[in-house]
Chain A
Amino acid sequence: MDWQLLLGQATANGLVVGLLYLLMAVGFTLVFGVMRMVNFAHGEFYMLGAFAAYTLVVKLSLPFLLAVALSVVLAIVFGSLVEWLVLKPFRKDELNGMIATIGLAMILQNVALLTFGPDPVSLPPIATGASTVLGVTVANSRLYVVGFALAVLLLLYAFLRHSPVGRGLRAVVEDADIAAIHGVRARIYYPLGFGIGIGLAAIAGALMAPLFSVSPFMGQTPLLKAFMVVILGGLGSIPGAAVAGLCLGLLESYSTLFMSSSTADMLIFILVVVGMLAFPRGLIGRGEA
């Protein structure tokens, strides 16, 4: 067995999965940072993003890139509306807000079940063939996904770092009251922050749709992984979520070289619990307890 080859493939797979976790976890932690609310419906928005891409590509035969862009815009609008109409009374109310998002998740998942049926569907691959990067052979469709995900992250970084709206959002995450004193209108940033967090979940769903099958139950696992990632990275910390997401993806991918994936899941759970006890505010980030 060629170890170098195996390791290279594992790294490539780990990066794809890690980017998925990263997108999910950054959105999740952004929502928590703005609203102090654990969003149990995050996985359902991932699923809706994938279904939106599926509908736009297969039913309306739009090009994939346009479909992803459209589903993200739809997700941001829909997310803001949901925040404004449903979640508004639960802002800053950690426990009740969390239970409310559980209700939201139940509604969304079952509406999707009624609309799309329980059977998984799939998208046509966005690219065929494979290329060799640094001696590792990777399917082109995966390369595209990695490219898009990185582009999204760069955009998000630029938006949060340099645009006035992004700076306002970061101020609200940092401290909503002080931000309000300085003239940041929190009223707008709650729906916006939720919408952008949801939008990131939808991008993750839409990008992964051509790689995995699309079904109403597909949101469960990414949600669980997002929990793990934000616990490791510190709730509310965006850089923490980014680093921990990539690490978790790579760790899972490498561990499947040595053990079964369920053994790996158990070990990672233990690692997360130990990590959380040793570093209650996150291993990497400076999360808020």
Chain B
Amino acid sequence: MTTQVIESKLSPVASAPAPAQRRSPWLVPAALAALLLAAAPWMSGQFVLHLAILACINVVIVNGLSLIDRCGQLSFGHSAPVALGAYGSVLLASGTGLGPVVSTALAAIGVGLVSGLLGWVILRLRGVYFVLVTFAFAELVRLILLDAAPITGGANGIASIPPLQVAGLVFDTRERFYALALGAAIASVLLMVWLFRRPLGQALNAVAANPTLAESTGLSVLRLQIVGYMGGCMLAGIGGALTARYIGFISPESFNTGASVAFITMLVIGGRKSLYGPVLGALVLTPLPELFRGAVQTQHIFYGAALILILRFLPGGIAGLPRLLHKGVAK
């Protein structure tokens, strides 16, 4: 027991996956359960599939937010890159006649460039100031989308967006689209796991833990945060493009402050410190509205209360729960 305690104290990133030689006994059952959970929607009807697709898209988007958060900056305007990705992908495809895949890739790159430029300016700000500016930027993006009615359709949005098509395969049924969304979600999780095992990920962690110390050891805080911010925004942009292709309709109101708040809620309730927090948050909170169908207000009140209670009593989110329970048993 004591050695375990010492080990957990020594390991700098307690929530990082354990190294290969010290796998948790829960790994195999957890992997099996995840596999079953991922396959279940195909056998459970259209409604469950619909929720599963939305949950997968949210995993991609919230992973993006988590990547930014892990550089030590909280974005309160995460709906902005989602909106830019969605509109970019759709408008590029309809305006230039490019295929949906190429236009989505181009839109993601575009979001990366925009966020890189914006990040270069606003990432010099710290803490609360950064939060406020990202919030204002998201409002600005929404205003521009509303204002540029000749291109974006204004408040009416863009309807009847054609489904995604890859080399003759049309993702027009829920079964097919779920495969795509699941692939994207898994890819984004693997990307995060891979990134935070690399030196770049360690550097990002260092920047978040103590920017001054990181800077003095030769890491460029601004440059690292720009990289993290660009990556996070590109994930959000891809999530936005997927949403547009799946729902077939986008409007500025799909990307309002409420959306940004929902992403933060998922991240915080899932667990900000854990790689699996975004996944858990998206999985738990996406189907939740269905429990409160017809009572959106009650649902939001529940979200708000859950947010405050989790912050107060479970700062590690749902992902921190096993550790907490483990500690309780060990005592």
Contact = CB atoms under 8 A, between A and B. Distances in A.
Given A102-B264, A231-B132, A266-B140, A280 B303 contact: no
B125 A265 contact: no
Contacts of A289: 126, 129
Interface residues of B, number: 40
A100 B307 contact: yes
Contact of B268 (A99, A113, A273): A99
A269 to B, nearest CB: 5
A106 to B, nearest CB: 3
Nearest to B315: A96
B173 interface: no
Contacts, number: 106
B13 interface: no
B307 A228 contact: no
B132 A38 contact: yes
B139 A224 contact: yes
A113 B128 contact: no
B257 interface: yes
Nearest to B295: A114
Interface in A95-142: 95-96, 98-100, 102-107, 109-111, 113-114
Interface string A236-275: 0000000000000000000000001011011001001100
- Among the interface residues A95, A220, A224, A235, which one has the most CB atoms of the partner chain B within 10 A? A95
Interface in B285-313: 296-298, 300-301, 303-308, 311-312
A103 to B, nearest CB: 3
A16 B304 CA distance: 33
A94 B128 contact: yes
B147 interface: yes
Nearest to B143: A262
A103 B305 contact: yes
A181 interface: no
A110 B136 contact: no
A96 B311 CA distance: 7
Nearest to B257: A220
* Residues of B contacting A: mostly: helix
B140 A269 contact: yes
A35 to B, nearest CB: 12
B257 A276 contact: no
B223 to A, nearest CB: 17
A1 interface: no
Contacts of A280: 125, 129
A90 B125 contact: no
B74 interface: yes
15 contacts: A90-B312, A94-B128, A95-B131, A98-B128, A102-B261, A102-B265, A102-B304, A102-B307, A109-B300, A110-B304, A111-B301, A113-B297, A228-B136, A262-B144, A273-B133
Interface of A: 32, 38, 86, 89-90, 94-96, 98-100, 102-107, 109-111, 113-114, 220, 224, 227-228, 230-231, 235, 260, 262-263, 265-266, 269, 272-273, 276-277, 280, 289
Interface of B: 74, 121-122, 124-129, 131-133, 135-137, 139-140, 143-144, 146-147, 257, 261, 264-265, 268, 296-298, 300-301, 303-308, 311-312, 315
Given A102-B307, A111-B301, A235-B128, 9 more contacts: A89-B312, A90-B312, A103-B265, A103-B306, A114-B298, A231-B132, A269-B137, A273-B122, A280-B125
